[in-house]
Amino acid sequence: MSASSEKPTPRETSIPGLVLWDLPVHGDSRGWFKENWQREKMVAAGLPDFRPVQNNVSFNDEIGITRGIHAEPWDKWVSVATGRIFGAWVDLRQGPGFGAVFTAEIGPDRAIFVPRGVGNAYQTLERDTAYVYLVNDHWSPSASYTFLNLADETAAVAWPMPLQQAGVSEKDLAHPRLADVTPVPPRKTLVLGADGQLGRALRRVYADDTAVEFASRTDLDLAEADLASSRRWRDYGAVVNAAAYTAVDAAETSEGRAAAWAANVGGVAALARIASENDLVLVHVSSDYVFDGKSDRPYHESDPVSPLGVYGQTKAAGDAVVSTVPRHFIIRTSWVIGDGSNFVRTMADLATRGKNPRVVNDQVGRLTFTDDLARGIRHLLSRDAPYGVYNLTGSGEPLSWASVARRVFSFLGHDPERVTGVTTEEYFSGAVAPVAVRPPYSVLDLSRIESVGFAPVPVEDSLARYLKLLESEQTSG
């Protein structure tokens, strides 16, 4: 037996993600040798790095032994050590491809990658056939399995040996027809911190997606000792961590410092471990506070971090932890505005009540509205964007806090000159409690997020939209 190629070669099939592979087999008078699974070469050739954890062998004495059609909640790498099979695969995943069928013969010189949710079956064509398959999850009684009858008339698999003559188990003969099969749903996305301002925005953005699950701290505490076993993590494809300790000034106290490190580093580390072990995409929201604000240009994702205070230090440490997860998005943002108490809402309230605020004018940045941030997160997850760090804020002209306040006053029909600009030092001059050092310049470069097709909304537009909502709330209230 000789090889047709010196490297594994993929062949796309009619079922998305189901890929047939030609494997080099080297033979001589003594027999033959092949690399049945070689991660480095196969990943380089285009096979997903599916990280198998178990290798199973099914030995079949006779011709016509038939097994399937089984769709398990994991990926498979199927091959033959000896003998030959007729393989049949049926797409049982939710979507337009449901019910699609592909068949092929597989011997020692072929293998096939079977993605999660695609039903797998085979019939032996030779005696003493050793059917080998690697899987990337361990069998679990809590996992969800889907089956299709081998004789289903809709799939109409053309078995070489009629099923009446083949060796088939009673269990496989009893599986449901296609019309009675519940399609395998896609892997779920889990949003943590679902009751926070970003979490609530993500609820709105994902309102049409039943595959997204939301959890508050009451539902899932990252500090729990049994976090790794708290749910079947392999059923998820991504986790969005919208939870964080964000009390910037309180973090400068001894109690706040401990809480900030526990949430922004300890909890993130626990989540990163789970993401790495279960091959999840981890989305982590970071901050402009990882920088010292001394730049003379917008910060790029590759710029070295240099946090000034405890909060920024914990966010920078969290970024470093998440960067070790093979599939991750670190999203750096600034000046976040969402539901509940925030700067814009406070300025609108002061304007309406006739108050004339003193507002800092020596800190410059861009507002980020949580709805826009949530849309950006969904964009990255849905567009197969390269993993890594992305800046995501509103776009347009950078403003000081005082400039933002004046725009709020002006939009609501009030005199913007009622806002008095002061330095940060002046603003906090009478503070009794500890005050965190703020980065004076928080402008983040948006080129990378734009390069993957996401257009950040101009701050002026988002601000106008938000203020209209506030006016509607006041009118209806």
Q: What CATH number is attached to the domain comprising 325? A: 3.40.50.720
Under-50 pLDDT residues of the chain: 1-4
Supply the pTM of this predicted model: 0.89
Which of 180, 204, 239 marks a domain boundary? Answer: 180
C-alpha distances in angstroms, 260 versus 90, 273, 310? 49, 19, 8
pLDDT score of 1: 45
Which of 180, 203, 226 marks a domain boundary? Answer: 180
Is residue 163 within 8 Å of 150, Cβ to Cβ? Answer: yes
Q: For residue 382, is it within any domain? A: yes
C-alpha distances in angstroms, 103 versus 21, 85, 91, 295? 14, 10, 12, 60
10 Å Cβ neighbour count for 97?
A: 18
The alpha helices in 59-161, defined as continuous H runs, are none
158 and 133 co-located in one domain: yes
β-pair type (399-400, 101-106): unpaired
316 and 379 co-located in one domain: yes
pLDDT score of 5: 56
C-alpha distances in angstroms, 47 versus 8, 238, 252? 10, 20, 48
243 and 154 co-located in one domain: no
Q: For residue 386, is it within any domain? A: yes
Rounded CA separation 325/341 (Å)? 33
- Give the list of residues 6+ apart from residue 4 with CB closer than 8 angstroms, or none: 22, 24, 109
Helix (H, G, I), strand (E, B) or coil at 365: strand
Rounded CA separation 409/396 (Å)? 19
The alpha helices in 68-211, defined as continuous H runs, are 170-173, 197-205
Q: The CATH number of the domain where 41 resides is what?
A: 2.60.120.10
Structural domain of 150: 9-180
115 and 192 co-located in one domain: no
Distance of CA 191 to the CA centre of its chain: 10
Q: For residue 3, is it within any domain? A: no
Helix axes 310-322, 268-277, angle to 10 degrees: 10
199 and 79 co-located in one domain: no
- Give the list of residues 6+ apart from residue 243 with CB closer than 8 angstroms, or none: 192, 193, 196, 199, 217, 222, 263, 267
263 and 372 co-located in one domain: yes
Is residue 81 within 8 Å of 132, Cβ to Cβ? Answer: yes
Active-site position among 26, 122, 131, 133: 133
70 a catalytic residue: yes
In angstroms, what is the C-alpha Rg of the chain? Answer: 28
229 and 336 co-located in one domain: yes
Q: For residue 2, is it within any domain? A: no
Rounded CA separation 228/201 (Å)? 27
Helix axes 459-476, 401-411, angle to 10 degrees: 50
Rounded CA separation 410/418 (Å)? 10
Give kind and range of the element (H or E) at residue 259: helix 254-261
Give the residue from 168, 169, 280 showing the smallest Cα distance to 232: 280
Is residue 80 within 8 Å of 130, Cβ to Cβ? Answer: yes
Residues of 55-66 as b/e, b for ≥16 C-beta within 10 angstroms?
A: eeeeebeebbbb
Give the residue from 289, 385, 294 showing the smallest Cα distance to 336: 289
Is residue 123 within 8 Å of 65, Cβ to Cβ? Answer: yes
Rounded CA separation 212/438 (Å)? 35
Is residue 281 within 8 Å of 385, Cβ to Cβ? Answer: no
284 a catalytic residue: no
Single-letter residue type at 446: L
198 and 175 co-located in one domain: no
Give the residue from 453, 446, 441, 334 showing the smallest Cα distance to 390: 446
